[in-house]
A and B are shown apart, each in its own frame.
Chain A
Amino acid sequence: MPTTLTITSIAVTSRLTLTVLLALALLFPPGSSAEVTHLDTRLTLADAHHLLTRTGLGASPGELLRYTGKSRRWATESIVNGLRSEPGNAIPGWVHAPAPHYWARGRMPVQARRQFNRERDAELVELRQWWVREMIETTSPQTEKLTLFWHNHFTSSFADINHQSTSIARQHLLLRRLSAGNFRELLGTVLHDPAMLDYLDNVNNHKRAPNENLARELLELFTLGEGHYSEQDVRGAARALTGHSVAPMRNMSPRFKPWRHDSGTKTIFGQQGNFAVGDLVDLILARPQVAKFITTKFYRAFVNEHRADPQTIHHLAAHFRQTGYDIKSLYLKLLQSEAFWAPDNRNAIVKSPVDLVIGTIRTTGKVSSNWQTLPSTLANMGQNLFQPPNVAGWPGKDNWITPDRLLTRFSWLEQFASDDCSDADRPCTTADEPMMTGENMSAPHLTIQLAAENYQGAPGYQVSLLKDQQNVWQSAEQIVSGGHDTRTLGRLEPGIDMPWQQVHLPLGSSIPDFDQIRVSFLNDNGGKDGDRNLYINWVSVDNKRFASSNGVQISGCPPKQPEQAGSLYCSGDLLLSKPVPADFSEPPQSPDRLTAEAVYLNWLNDPTGKKDPRLVFTLVGVSFNEQQWHNLSVRFQIQRDGSYAMSMENHECWPDCFQTWPACARSADNQPELRALDFPLNTNGPANCHYQLLDEKDRLLVDTLWMHLPFFYHQVAENESHLKKHLATTLRKWRPYIDDLQQQLGSSIYSHSTTRQAVISASHTSHRRPALTDSTPLPAGNTADKYTDHIEQLQQQIPALSLQQLLLPDNADPLPGEPKLSTLLQQLGYQLY
């Protein structure tokens, strides 16, 4: 890559730094007219660098070129107008796909549950890599910075919401979409956001016993700040928030449960009323303190984090209120404040790991082929994306530069500078075979997702394809790059993402016929002060994915549980067969059958008990009559007179249970959105309107479900060993009723169309979506050639441009000689901006 060559060459061409200052002075004379405000001031290179690094991620030559010499007014407007609400690279497909059945985890056999959890973790690996790519490539870094700002304000953590990947990713999209919108809308939406409702326990906020967690943080961290509310306000707010929950059986959407909501009179900020969540938002936003609190947070994040300027904040806060909490307007006003440009407020913020790492990549145009491990790099520096340490977010400031983190930062910068991609003899990739990139991905290849812990060197491995236990293809020996160095960083902490990356190995002209994949870990090593380990998540060939958890490990230290295969702590082999399709595939259609991937026991109580005995089954991955449901529930109940009924409720099916709900469908006073249909097993009289008024197709569905209720029971009962003991015991009590039901069903009105079969098969539990592209991202969206162009153009404007000016233009004193990239990155001042 010529990129670094260019950087080196600028350093060479910059002879006299003094000439630069002169040139800048000539190019951009200070405004002479008295009416000219500071906003007419033209940006020097250093000003442009200041604006870009603060609002974006580093400052690439192309961006510097665009902003240097422009007025502050134009520049700030351009930044703010460039804010977007959608990402440039499409977010991984699973985010919009139906949410995994998180609710069913507790009903899964241990092995299935572990596999389920691994898949969620794998999704987060993908999500983090996607965001890192977006941050590297985007032409609107201001969007990323502002989204990250809100991620750190309205925090939620993947680990603390029980690994609900879907919710955390959708929260990210929400924050991105509203990041530059209206704070009122943002706040209101966040209070209905499933990830937030789960993170701060509002899913358990019930009028009987209000849970104050969300209410307290809402006042303390999201809007007012400590000292600006009372405990009574917290209690009132908590009651106003009761009932706002999540519908795990409706694609993890928000769900209001009116029967949990406290509609009594609450006292909040001295006012009394039957306040609901909307009123709460209004009450909070009526307080001037909110604008001050949010403005202060903006000031600290974008202007100066160690010294607030009450005067400026006061003006900005007033403006924020006047605009009805328009974030974009506040942001523009902030960037246009004199404070933002004041020399005192340069080098006044400690770079976050994202600023440091992604900023350096964008500024230098250099990105290593193992960029996929960057999320782990960020985590090592303390910024594990989607997993802030607690509800207050990353504390930042001095916390980013604790002594141990400083060492980690210095060592990454050193490594980055020495990783000289321009040197043909030492390419950035360390694999023996050329890495495949996006351009030649259509050629036959094998992809392996792996991570490494290094100890006196990185793990080496080899991949083979076998047919009847004979080698039909074998890779050269590979060395993993970008592993985690256990000698300096210690072993990977539990809960911290491994440095996962996908490596592509070309398979030659065609994919050989094979039935097994072998991954061999060749060079185990370790000592008292570290360990060398290889982790394999999966291998994919020809759109089929072979998961390690389905594999067999034959090594010096095999895993205790078979599904933990893939963690090679000792040399040995991982053998993979039994693939699943690597691409998203619709479940096969079965027009004349009811098929489902699985049936779960959803809920039950004692059939001999007094309280409405009920047994609820949920089918997942259902298809019937060309219709499909992600999940669909049926309730079997014993009525007071001892007769049986089946009922279905709208909040337990997704998509909706029926094409049309009869107008006579049951609702409830305390649940106006509820639609429920009851189908009594009535053998004498005519069917009720619930059944009569259904569409033909829907009626067929009811018939089939009714007729197969005993079948569902037996399915669940067969697998009762993985149910909790008390559930299994209660389930057994239902058997006589099910036997009785079986007798009665044949003569019921539902038996008219019962030639249909039901099939439960676990064949498509794993719908893989197309993998994200793994090609190396282009920093700031530029190819190496374009980067070089920009440098050259910038040099035409500033003839004596030096590397120091590109990286550290605000450093008062030019460094002696022609400092190299590594010298500049190691300057203490580089930790700040």
Chain B
Amino acid sequence: MNRRTLIKMLGTGLLLPGLPSLADDAKRRIILLELAGANDGLNTVVPWRNDNYYKLRPGLALNNRQRIDLNDEFALHAALKPLMPLWEAGELAILHGLGYPKPNRSHFSSIALWETGGDGNRAGDKGWITHDLEHTCARQQLDACGISLDGRMGIFTNADGNWLSMRSAGQFARSALPANSAAATSDNPLMQLLANRTQALERSLTRIANKIDAGTSVANRSGNKLSRQTDLAASLINTGVDVPVLKLSLGGFDTHENQFNRHQRLLRNLGKSIHALRRQLIKSGEWNNTVLVTYSEFGRTAAENSNGGTDHGSVAAHFVMGGQVNGGLYGQAPAIPADADTDMVHTMDYRAMYNALLKQWLQTESSQFEKWSDARLDTLV
């Protein structure tokens, strides 16, 4: 039980400012890991006692050799075995039933909602994490506010400040910006965007390059797409690059067909990469300053389809992990319907998770997701 849990239990209900924390507040960071294509929640966190699960998934339901039981209700897909040390160390939180009202079934629209904190009634217009972090970030003179390592910038939509993307550490260490790149403000939004991005690069490039050159190890292995990103993330963190947000992704989760093998491969890849990242961060003492969060645009249907796959659903469980995370199961798993035509309904708004991460972990002064705050997550981190 960590200190914060204790405070909770004492009933103070509020975080006392100035209370020493195990994590180094200045260096707290969050790693966002998008499972692109929509991960199948039910075969990730398996409700193995649920009859409807077996009824709706005659071909896809995992048997006792294909899962690892966490308790007498839920199990992890066996391919996630590398995450078991985290579970046993109490560093893996599972948040059940995340979703939002009026689910959107389009990959593109729904991921944009998750990225900007919107829902089926209202789209967001700004990266969810950037809004409450911009000021702090600007004040603290960090190397960058956030870096996307998968090349996608959607999570930093319309953000002000040094929000970057990076392909390899060497790219930053060895690239030069054109001499004349600092542009004045323009009323052409594209020129303005170019200017902003070049300026952000200009502010960060040398600082990061210097650290990378001074650093000991800059991973540049040829691995799979996720392990390249986790290696790069570990390198950046361990060479002392100050950046509170890193964004990674693993694609291929849109398993409409032949899900069994594909999903297993994806989860194995996921487990291994996270395990390796954790090991590298524990070694450098940074794991306690890190929280890693998974998310997807939506979940998948409870029922399997005729092609051995699952279709777009509305709800899924996700992981929050880190040295300071209080592991365990949070919230309530959504009811699995008895028939194939009924959708599962979310039991926790995903923005409750965002709120907890902003307020409790990054300790931002404000959180735009306050109104979704959910007491069930008070002890998350």
Contact = CB atoms under 8 A, between A and B. Distances in A.
Given A398-B153, A404-B151, A826 B306 contact: no
A831 B190 CA distance: 9
Interface in B178-200: 178-181, 183, 188-191, 193-195, 197-198, 200
A86 B201 CA distance: 43
A396 to B, nearest CB: 11
What secondary structure prevails in chain B residues at the interface with A? loop
Given A306-B189, A398-B153, A828-B181, A528 B217 contact: yes
Contacts of B200: 403
Contact of B306 (A209, A349, A827, A831): A209
B194 A831 contact: yes
Interface in B150-189: 151-153, 164-181, 183, 188-189
A832 B197 contact: no
B332 interface: no
Contacts of A348: 188, 190
A201 B172 CA distance: 41
A407 B201 contact: yes
Interface string A396-438: 0111011111111011001000000000000000000000000
B190 A347 contact: yes
Contacts of B307: 201, 204, 209, 211
A206 interface: yes
Interface residues of A, number: 55
A726 interface: no
A669 interface: no
B218 A226 contact: no
A560 interface: no
A350 interface: yes
B109 A226 contact: yes
Contacts of A55: none
Given A220-B106, A492-B222, A405 B198 contact: no
A828 B191 contact: yes
B12 interface: no
B148 A407 contact: no
A827 B305 CA distance: 52
Contacts of B219: 528
B348 to A, nearest CB: 25
What secondary structure prevails in chain A residues at the interface with B? mixed
A486 B221 contact: no
Interface string A647-658: 000000000000
Contact of A488 (B175, B197, B221, B306): B175
A583 to B, nearest CB: 35
A181 interface: no
B29 interface: no
Contacts of B172: 407
Contacts of A641: none
A490 B175 contact: no
B224 interface: yes
**Most chain B CB inside 10 Å of its own CB: which residue of A208, A212, A528, A530:** A528
B191 A832 contact: yes
A350 B192 CA distance: 12
Given A226-B106, A530-B220, A828-B194, A493 B311 contact: no
A204 B148 CA distance: 36
B257 interface: yes
B342 to A, nearest CB: 14
Contact of B167 (A213, A306, A490, A530): A490
**Most chain B CB inside 10 Å of its own CB: which residue of A209, A823, A828:** A828
A491 interface: yes
A408 B167 contact: yes
A486 B170 contact: yes
A490 B153 contact: no
B171 A404 contact: yes
B174 A306 contact: no
Contact of B169 (A213, A349, A406, A529): A529
A494 interface: yes
A823 B180 contact: yes
Contacts of A826: 178-181
A197 B194 CA distance: 39
B165 A403 contact: yes
A832 B168 contact: no
A375 interface: no
B151 A382 contact: yes
Contacts of A220: 106
Contact of B193 (A208, A231, A398, A408): A398
Nearest to A306: B189
Given A211-B256, A212-B311, A410 B177 contact: yes
Contact of A490 (B164, B171, B256): B171
B194 A403 contact: no
A392 B220 contact: no
Nearest to B220: A529
A490 B228 contact: yes
Contact of B188 (A208, A347, A399, A401): A347
A489 interface: yes
Given A403-B164, A407-B175, A204 B257 contact: yes
A128 B106 CA distance: 31
A88 interface: no
14 contacts: A201-B256, A213-B256, A226-B109, A306-B189, A347-B188, A401-B197, A403-B164, A403-B165, A404-B167, A406-B198, A410-B176, A487-B170, A529-B170, A529-B220
Given A213-B256, A401-B193, A493-B225, 20 more contacts: A211-B306, A231-B105, A306-B189, A399-B153, A406-B194, A406-B201, A411-B175, A487-B170, A487-B173, A488-B171, A489-B168, A491-B222, A494-B225, A528-B217, A826-B179, A826-B181, A828-B183, A829-B191, A831-B194, A832-B191
The 6 lowest CB-CB distance pairs between A and B, nearest first, are A209-B306, A490-B168, A826-B178, A491-B222, A404-B167, A487-B170
